[in-house]
Amino acid sequence: MSEEPTKTTPVQVWSGGEIIASKDSLVSEAAVEIIIEIAGEQKKLGILLRTPGEDTELVTGWLLGEAMIQSKSAILKIESVLDRVVVRMDPKKFDLSDFSERTFPITSSCGLCGRETLDGLIIPSRLTISDEQWVSPEVLTQLPQRLTDSQDHFKTTGGLHACALFDYEGNLITVREDVGRHNALDKLIGSRLIENELPAEKQILMLSGRIGYELIQKAALAGIPAIAGLGAPSTMAVDAARSAGLTLIGFLKSNRFNVYTGGWRII
């Protein structure tokens, strides 16, 4: 299976009443196995289906978003080779028994997949972040187009989700794409954690689609105070955002948006 983020495949196109041979670019989807290693002993944690690329970021962000780690220091070393990522954890902080294997693949459409109990539903407590007004409506309404402009692989495939971090002036900090919206966010959060750039004070997370609970959980655990999406949030997403003290914005367009929680940050 291709380890490139996109792949060209032959297709037949119906146009003008006839079938024409052509080619199309598709987003790649492949499995990656996550292995935890502590004091020389290994344990398979699970299998993620993702778009190949940035696997180290993906797994780092996933571990943080699942509340398995709280900081970069928990990881001594992380290595990615093709379809396998090995995470060496600090034996002074962890034991293999601290990690439970997800018994079936975590697909690119998963949010809470693989959890066997409701204990995995972590409603984050209120973040220790500023309540001052800094979110500009003028900046917000520019973000949908800026997100679209930053999606290189989406332009060729039309098959990827994306998320991006912008500063309070609307400048792009970083963007990640993946066939799964949750994977894209894990990659983004993982990249920021690796660079010691979390929490993300006065930064806005922009999402390319609907806003589910699990995206709020990941953002809250990463310390991202404001979240905006092109689509609608779920009821659990709104409850979680309110609990964590986040500003949550949905149906963001060039001329309007809905504020579901945290309206005090809007200028």
**Is the C-alpha dihedral spanning 236, 261, 191, 170 positive or negative?**
positive
Check if 163 is active-site: no
Would you state the structure tokens that stand for residue 155, as one six-digit string?
Answer: 């332009």
**Residue 83 and residue 32 in contact, taking contact as beta carbons nearer than 8 Å:** yes
- How far is 49 from 107, CA to CA, in rounded Å? 5
Amino acid at position 49, single letter: L
User: How many residues belong to the chain?
Assistant: 267
Catalytic choice (45, 110, 179, 220): 110
Task: Kindly list the catalytic residues.
Answer: 110
